[in-house]
């Protein structure tokens, strides 16, 4: 019951308050315009294959919700759009559905409405640590998922009043979950994944990384609006902008495991930049939330906006396919460039592409 109530509070706060952090790193990236693109707009293909499944565009509606009766309609609208555009879609943490059978339909509606989409189940690392691999299996079965995202959200757990602050043994728990029949995606939720952690995740047997970087929805910010204790609210305020910006994460991890760029993706240009930096796909959460509370048409409009804006960026850089885009030349400046130099990641690679 507690989980169910909290989930709805999170949705309400994300709809009503400003919960975003600043700077994704994409501000310091420029795709180089090509005045002679030599491709026809209508011949551009956005198709990709991700973890063995074809998607019509490299876009994933990032896991947000389920677990409260009111969220069924949100998931239904998101799923209808995912099915029409044949993109990916995640559900929110399935803890509430695992704890209470009567809430299963708030998640299961996603597979019902999106029989052909790439559907991603979702559990938290804390629940996996506590309850083991059967818990993960239940989540996958509940929505007949193509993959399972295990979210790493220790920033939120740290500032959340009812947060679970145990992290010892998390890597081992992940290793066990990797014995499941579906691929495992290790997913941050707004504080990002570094190169060092990506190596550990690969060692654990994970199939892909969703970087969940800084610059979009901040879970420390969300909790600021819930915390009653003055001191803890001050702590959460300090961590509002904590984390590794999304673009930095993509540059760090894309050559270690297939990468989803999530966190502050707000236009098709951001998607294009993320792919040019090496991501396979981009994940988007908050921009779909409000449309999903209105209707499936509103969500479809939003997906169309991302698709057309991505396609335009590809047209103007002369990219006929996502494969071309992943080799498009980039100008990288500012803090992002400093970070790459500091971390000894070659900037020249992006400049030398032609």
Q: What residue numbers does the annotated binding site for Mg(2+) cover?
A: 157
188 phi/psi in degrees, rounded to 5: -80, 170
Among 71, 75, 77, 93, binds ligand FNR (CB under 6 A): 93
User: Interface with ligand FNR by CB under 6 A: which range of 8-16, 127-135, 173-181, 267-275?
Assistant: 8-16
Burial label for 125, CB within 10 Å (0-12, 13-18, 19+), is buried
Cβ-closest position to ligand FNR: 216
Q: Minimum distance between the CB of residue 36 and ligand FNR, rounded to whole angstroms? A: 34
Among 209, 284, 313, 316, binds ligand FNR (CB under 6 A): 284
Q: Which of 72, 154, 84 has its CA nearest to residue 108? A: 72
How many chain residues bind ligand FNR (CB under 6 A)?
A: 26
Task: Pick out residues in 167-186 that bind ligand FNR (CB under 6 A).
Answer: none
* DSSP-derived secondary structure letter, 63: -
Chain-centre distance for alpha carbon 136:
19
Cβ closer to ligand FNR: 24 or 317?
Answer: 24
Residues in the chain: 354
Among 75, 106, 122, 259, binds ligand FNR (CB under 6 A): 122
Q: Minimum distance between the CB of residue 142 and ligand FNR, rounded to whole angstroms? A: 14
Q: Buried b / exposed e across 284-310, counting CB within 10 Å, b at 16+?
A: bbbbbbebbbeebeebbebbeebbebb
Q: Can you tell me which residue has the tokens 């800084």?
A: 214
Q: Does 278 bind ligand FNR (CB under 6 A)?
A: no
Q: Does 62 bind ligand FNR (CB under 6 A)?
A: yes
Percentages helix, strand, coil for the chain (3-state, rounded to 5) are 50, 15, 35
Residues that bind ligand FNR in the complex, under the rule CB under 6 A: 10-11, 14, 62-65, 92-93, 122, 149, 151, 187, 189-190, 212, 216-217, 262-265, 284-286, 289
């Amino acid at each position: 019951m507690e989980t169910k109530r909290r989930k709805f509070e999170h949705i309400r706060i994300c709809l009503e308050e400003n919960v975003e952090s600043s700077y994704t790193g994409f501000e310091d990236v420029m795709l180089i315009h090509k005045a002679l693109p030599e491709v026809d707009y209508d011949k551009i293909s956005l198709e990709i294959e991700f973890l063995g499944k074809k998607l019509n565009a490299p876009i994933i509606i990032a896991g947000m919700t389920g677990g409260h009766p009111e969220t069924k309609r949100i998931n239904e609208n998101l799923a209808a759009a995912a099915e029409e555009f044949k993109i990916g879609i995640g559900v929110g943490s399935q803890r509430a559905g695992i704890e209470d059978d009567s809430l299963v339909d708030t998640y299961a509606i996603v597979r019902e409405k999106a029989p052909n989409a790439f559907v991603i189940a979702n559990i938290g690392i804390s629940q996996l640590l506590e309850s083991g691999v059967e818990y993960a299996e239940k989540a996958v079965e509940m929505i007949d998922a193509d993959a399972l995202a295990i979210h790493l959200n220790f920033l939120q757990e740290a500032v959340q009043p009812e947060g679970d602050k145990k992290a010892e043994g998390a890597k081992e728990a992940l290793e066990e979950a990797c014995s499941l029949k579906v691929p495992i995606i290790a997913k941050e939720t707004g504080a990002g994944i570094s190169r060092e952690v990506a190596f550990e995740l690969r060692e654990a047997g994970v199939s892909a990384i969703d970087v969940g970087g800084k610059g979009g929805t901040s879970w420390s910010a969300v909790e600021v609006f819930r915390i009653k204790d003055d001191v803890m609210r001050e702590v959460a305020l300090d961590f509002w902008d904590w984390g590794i910006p999304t673009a930095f994460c993509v540059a760090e991890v894309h050559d270690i495991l297939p990468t989803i760029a999530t966190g502050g993706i707000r236009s098709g240009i951001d998607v294009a930049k993320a792919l040019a930096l090496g991501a396979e796909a981009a994940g988007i959460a908050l921009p779909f939330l409000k449309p999903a509370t209105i209707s499936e048409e509103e969500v479809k409009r939003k997906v169309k906006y991302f698709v057309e804006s991505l396609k335009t960026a590809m047209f103007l850089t002369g990219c006929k396919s996502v494969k071309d885009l992943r080799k498009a030349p980039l100008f990288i400046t500012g803090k992002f460039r400093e970070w790459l130099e500091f971390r000894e990641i070659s900037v020249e690679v992006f400049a030398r592409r032609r």
